[in-house]
């Protein structure tokens, strides 16, 4: 509840370290030009055959940083809260903002979902569901999906088919966009009429934002990448929702803007990107450009 500082698999490593004899601490480093190349596998097999006590391990830049951090923390006796996140992920942004606003001392470990770093076996040890965000506090691991996962998927579907794919020159799925719009309109109507019916500016009439406000606003921020026509068509009728988003952003400033910089950069790139000739097919391109979700 992250350029990764956690253990990553061979296909994301630059070097492999093979500890031939732990007692003599003899380390052989071999550059990897491909994922677990045949030469590396051969070196591993020979090392194990030569010495049954051989330890074979993958050595990455992230591993070294992680070990150094753990060693420093063990010396001070203080373990920082670790937040595994990708700031292109709505739930990740909500957790990071929550930590910043509440002055929680934490270390942000970046898992680049566009490179599928969250799908590695090593990250599965942190979160078996291979989803972001995830939190580690000592030996305690916390992970869960946002209860608004359906809205996440629907909002992404709408943004991808109305904005991302056309900007890249790919054919969009208008039927999927229309169905997503119906769901979003229904959800916004429910927020307007029920969740914002109290006297306070936040959900259920609260006088200050809760993690629920952060989670939901971060989901709706995906709509920021839409052009003004689509955004107004969705949000224009819902004045309470617009005020609530404004209040929430202001209440947690400057952290809100800082955590959403990546998303705003995407918006600017889309705004300045000329339409490309539609000579490709398939929606899968969205996973290559629009960061894959957890």
Distance from C-alpha of 270 to C-alpha of 154, rounded to nearest angstrom: 20
Per residue in 160-192, pLDDT tens? 777 777 777 778 888 888 888 888 888 889 889
Distance from C-alpha of 272 to C-alpha of 291, rounded to nearest angstrom: 19
All domains of the chain in start order, with CATH:
10-143 (3.40.30.10), 149-289 (1.20.1050.10)
Per residue in 135-169, pLDDT tens? 888 887 877 654 445 555 566 677 777 777 777 77
Helices in the chain by DSSP H: which ranges?
38-50, 61-76, 90-101, 121-124, 149-159, 165-168, 174-190, 211-220, 228-235, 239-251, 255-259, 261-272, 285-289
Reading the block at residue 53, the tokens are 């006590």
Q: What is the pLDDT of residue 74?
A: 56
Q: How confident is the model at residue 60 (pLDDT cuts 50, 70, 90)?
A: very low
Q: What is the pLDDT of residue 109?
A: 92
Q: What is the pLDDT of residue 243?
A: 94
| Residue 261, number of CB atoms within 10 A of its CB | 10
- In whole angstroms, what separates CA 96 from the centre of its chain? 11
Average pLDDT of the residues of the chain: 68
Q: What is the pLDDT of residue 245?
A: 93
Indicate if the pLDDT at residue 237 is higher than 90.
Answer: yes
Per residue in 75-120, pLDDT tens? 545 568 899 999 888 788 888 988 888 888 899 999 988 888 888 8
- Residue-by-residue DSSP string for 107-128: EEEE--GGGTGGGSHHHHTT-T
Listed residue (115, 88, 113, 87) closest to 100, CA to CA: 87
């Amino acid at each position: 509840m992250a350029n990764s500082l956690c253990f990553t698999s061979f296909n994301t490593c630059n070097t492999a370290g093979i500890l031939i004899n732990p007692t003599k601490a003899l380390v052989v480093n071999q550059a990897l030009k491909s994922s677990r190349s045949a030469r590396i596998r051969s070196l591993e097999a020979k090392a194990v055959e030569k010495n049954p006590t051989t330890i074979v391990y993958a050595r990455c830049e992230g591993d070294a940083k992680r070990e150094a951090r753990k060693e420093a923390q063990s010396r001070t006796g203080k373990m920082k809260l670790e937040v595994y996140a990708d700031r292109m992920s709505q739930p990740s942004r909500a957790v990071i903002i929550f930590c910043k606003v509440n002055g929680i001392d934490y270390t942000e470990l970046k898992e680049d979902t566009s490179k599928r770093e969250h799908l590695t076996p090593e990250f599965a040890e942190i979160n078996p569901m291979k989803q972001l965000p995830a939190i580690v506090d000592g030996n305690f691991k916390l992970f869960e999906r946002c209860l608004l996962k359906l809205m996440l998927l629907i909002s992404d579907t709408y943004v991808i088919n109305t904005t991302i794919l056309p900007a890249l020159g790919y054919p969009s799925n208008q039927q999927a966009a229309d169905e997503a719009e119906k769901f979003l309109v229904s959800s916004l109507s429910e927020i307007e009429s029920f969740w914002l019916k109290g006297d306070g500016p936040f959900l259920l009439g609260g006088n200050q934002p809760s993690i629920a406000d952060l989670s939901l606003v971060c989901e709706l921020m995906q709509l920021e990448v839409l052009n003004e026509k689509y955004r107004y068509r969705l949000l224009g009728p819902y004045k309470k929702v617009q005020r609530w988003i404004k209040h929430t952003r202001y209440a947690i400033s400057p952290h809100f803007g800082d955590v959403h910089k990546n998303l705003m950069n995407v918006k600017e790139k889309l705004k300045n990107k000329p339409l490309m000739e539609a000579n490709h097919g398939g929606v899968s391109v969205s996973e290559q450009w629009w960061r894959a979700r957890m």
